[in-house]
Structures are given as structure tokens and as C-alpha cells.
Chain A
Amino acid sequence: MAPAIDKAARRTQAAFFFVARNSTDRRVVITGLGVVSSLGQTTDAFWKNVLDGKCGIHTISSFDPSAFDCKIAAEVKDFDPSPAFPNPKEIRRTDRFTQFSVFAAHHALLDSGVDLEKVNRDEVGVFLGSGIGGLRTTADQHGILLSKGPGRLSPFMIPMLILNMASGLFAMYQNLRGPNLATCSACATATHALGEAWRTIKMGDASMIFAGGSEAAVIPLGIGGFCAMRALSTRNDDPQHASRPFDRDRDGFVMGEGAGVLVLEELEHARARGARIYAEMTGYGNTADASHITAPSPGGEGAARCMRMALRSAGLNPADISYINAHGTSTPQGDIAETQAIKTVFGEGAKKIAVSSTKGATGHMLGAAGAVEMILCVKAIQCGVVPPTINLENPDPECDLDYVPGAAREMKVSAVVNNSFGFGGHNASVIAVKFNG
């Protein structure tokens, strides 16, 4: 029996070697984009509107907001999920956050040009997160519980509200049997999804992953909850100028809704099918503040370690970065902490980097934010133009970086950092670079 054991041990050793070699050699590229937002439901429309300095924030129209301190949001209007769903019954059984996610994933699939009949579906994964999940379903069903009793609760309530259902359903619709999960780290959700997908492909466990996030919390319970935290802007008489990252007159964030999904793909897999490559993803940082439930750690310490971790895994120096898409939510504390973190990491070079927050335009899309902003980063690399920070008229004295105020800027974009930070002290940063073959 001894020789058999030796053989098994040798095999195990060989397998370890194989994985180790794979994890360093495998490269991950971005080959598909899909978005649903207040500023467009196609990547082209969304990109154009953000570059043009448009703002998707208006007085809330989906319910009467008059009783709420905050009466404004970046809502998705005229949304028809049916092209992404197999039939109307499936749509009726899903929460709005899932409809956003599946719709964006469907568009990312079309954009990638992949013929799923020609790939190994056991190696195609789905990582679609949400910060909150099916809050609308929770609220609706709770209303039924109170008014009609427990016997009238829908058998679909739980499958509709659990925030992993978007990942599960998209996999079912497309028969994608590889790694599948949903990240949940508040406003860092989608960036964590991208990072974990990147790592999974590098480790050799998938050749392609649909990664991103979604949010649909612009309902009375969602707006009311964030109002109670005093987190939201109350510039209700001027919605178009309410979200103003890094401006001295900012007074909180504005809720947005929608989804963003990117197709991450192993380079040789993408090459073999002749895919269009938007950019290469090369780094990921993931740290905790371990400080406070909602406030950033002093000086943005956790965020700084996160960006450093991403740079280290990308093998880049701070001076290599040309653009940072900031988390920049337009809250008094957060924008300062992120500015401090960037200065900690990039030192004297910080002021030479273009840093913009696109949340002035999109509002804060919470669990979708990181993916939607990554789409903008990828387009910035592809097109050689970075999106502006709108509504930045009088910079806060403590926010003294180059935030690309007011108008988009043409420039060479070789490497970008995309930051997202979530309640709970979660930090995520990912790095993408121009693909140079």
C-alpha cells in the first residue's frame, strides 16, 4: 500500500504547485459592463451624462416625501426589467434590487459578447451583492402582517428579500455553475464583490465572473432610517446641488438606486474568444477600521491601509496612479477622512493625482456604488478622460486635492484606484490599469 500513498502525496504536492503557479501567473481583465442608474440604463448613456456634468437627483417621485427631513433622491425612472427576465412571473417574484442586478448583469453579458454555449459554465461565477437587500419587500410584507395577519404573508417574501438572491437568480437564468456568492459590506459591497471575484479568478477557480452590486432602498423605510441618522442632505429646495462632495457647504449624502455589474475574465480565456478588453484589474485591498459603526477612523487610517494593500497587490508605486475615484459621499466627516487617507498614502504626490467623486451626479448608490464607479474608472482608462466632481464650488479648506471640479478632464489614464468605504468600518479599494497586452 505504501507506494499508493506516495503516489497520492506526490499528486497533492503537484496540485499545490499548480495552484501556486496559477495564482501568480493568471491575469484578470474586464470585458463587459452593465449599469442601471438615475443617469441612464446603458453604459453609453450613463458615461455621457456623467461626463456632461448631469445630475440624477430630484424630488422623490415614487412616494410622497413631505413628512421626511430629506425629500430628494437619485431614482431610477421608467425601468422595465423584462428584457433580462425569462417571463413576467419571475419579475413578480423578485425585489426591485434583484431586478436592477439581473438587468445590469444581463447587459454586461451582452456587452462582453461571450457565447455561453462555448464556455465551461462550471467556471463562470456570479458575485452580486447588495448593501441592504429587499427592504421594499420587507416593508410591504410587514404591512400585510400588521393589517391582515401572518396567514397572508407571501411564500416569496424570504426568497425576495434575502440579498443573495440576485446572484442566485442570474446564475439560474444563464446556467452559470461556478463560484457564486453575495457580498454585503454596506457601501463597500460592490467593490468587495469585484475584489473577491478578481481573487477567485487569480486562484484558478473561475475563468469568468459577473461581479457588482445593487441597491433599491429609496422607499419610506429606507429614507426614514438614513434621515434618523442625520446622514442625508436636507437641501430639498435645490436637489441638483445637494450632493456636493468636498465642498464646504455639503450637508450629507443623497440616496441613489440602481446597479452596476462588470465581467471579470481570465486573460487567456478572453483572448481565446477574441474579447474586447477594457482594462486589466491588478490589485485589491480590504481592511477594517475596527473603530466606529458609522464614522471613519481618525485620519482615515483604515482607508489608507486599504489603498496601500491594493497598491502592494498590484505591484505599483503610489506615483503610478493617475486617477482615484473617491468614495466621497458628501458627508462632513467622510470626505475629510478620505482626503487625509489619500495624503497619507500618496504623500507629496497626492496633489498631482486627479481625484473625483461622481456621487454629486449619481447620489450614493450604497451597495451598487463601487461597481457603478468602477464602470466609470474603466471608461476613463478606455477614453482618456476622467469624470468631474460636480457641485464643488467652494472646497472645504480640509479638502485640498485636485478633485477635477465642475468639468470632465482629458488626460492619460494609466492606472486607477477605486475606493469604497462602508458603515461597519469596511474598506475596499481596487486597482485597474490600461491593458498593454
Chain B
Amino acid sequence: MPEKTIEERVREIIVEQLGVTADQVTPEAKFIEDLGADSLDTVELVMALEEEFGNEIPDEQAEKLQSVGDVIKYVEDTQKK
């Protein structure tokens, strides 16, 4: 089986954490407006991403991650380093 891409891993975490369906998790989808997340959900989501990708996401950075696409891009950028 081919290794999962970063995008696939991010989308799986979002589906699990926010209790939404995979087809809702489009790159444009915003966590609070479109996926029904509240402030506690976003904190937990950031923690789950940190667990999965093994790096710390600083608070000031986390605040900027408002859509699925933001997260995918951020993780791809940081994983390259």
C-alpha cells in the first residue's frame, strides 16, 4: 500500500476530530464557519495535528489556520524543512 499523503492524513484527522464527513473536508472549508468547530475543537485539532506530525504548532501560527487548505499547506511546508 502506498504511503498516505500529508493531505490524506490531515483530512482523516479533521474527519475524526470534528465528526464531519470526508466530502465536507474540502480545501476551502473553514473550521468554524463550515465544519461547525468551536474554540475548544480547534485547540484539540491543533493538538491532534501536533501528535500526528510530531512538531509543535505555535499559538500565533495556529490562529492563522482557519481552513482545511491552510492546514495542509502549513504541514507540507513544515514537513519539508
Contact = CB atoms under 8 A, between A and B. Distances in A.
A87 interface: yes
Contacts of A159: 40
A151 B51 CA distance: 11
Interface string B11-30: 00000001100000000000
Interface in A135-155: 151-152, 154-155
A140 to B, nearest CB: 14
A156 B40 contact: yes
A90 B17 CA distance: 11
Contacts of A151: 47
Contacts, number: 19
A152 B19 contact: no
Interface residues of B, dominant DSSP: helix
B43 A155 contact: yes
A92 B19 contact: yes
Contact of B44 (A87, A88, A90, A155): A155
B43 to A, nearest CB: 4
A7 interface: no
A154 B51 CA distance: 12
A89 interface: yes
A87 B19 contact: yes
B19 A89 contact: yes
A312 to B, nearest CB: 47
Interface in A149-199: 151-152, 154-156, 159
Contacts of A87: 19
A154 B48 CA distance: 10
A88 B19 contact: yes
B19 A154 contact: no
Contacts of A152: 47, 51
Interface string A79-116: 00000000111101000000000000000000000000
B53 to A, nearest CB: 14
B40 A89 contact: no
Nearest to B39: A155
A272 to B, nearest CB: 37
Contacts of B40: 155-156, 159
B60 to A, nearest CB: 16
B54 to A, nearest CB: 12
B18 A89 contact: yes
Contacts of B51: 152
A154 B41 CA distance: 10
Contacts of A155: 40, 43-44, 47
A157 to B, nearest CB: 10
A283 to B, nearest CB: 43
Contacts of B43: 155
A88 B20 CA distance: 9
Interface of A: 87-90, 92, 151-152, 154-156, 159
Given A89-B41, A155-B40, 17 more contacts: A87-B19, A88-B19, A89-B18, A89-B19, A90-B19, A92-B19, A151-B47, A152-B47, A152-B51, A154-B44, A154-B47, A155-B43, A155-B44, A155-B47, A156-B40, A156-B44, A159-B40
Interface of B: 18-19, 40-41, 43-44, 47, 51
Q: Which 4 pairs show the lowest CB-CB distances between chains A and B?
A: A89-B19, A155-B43, A155-B40, A88-B19
19 contacts: A87-B19, A88-B19, A89-B18, A89-B19, A89-B41, A90-B19, A92-B19, A151-B47, A152-B47, A152-B51, A154-B44, A154-B47, A155-B40, A155-B43, A155-B44, A155-B47, A156-B40, A156-B44, A159-B40
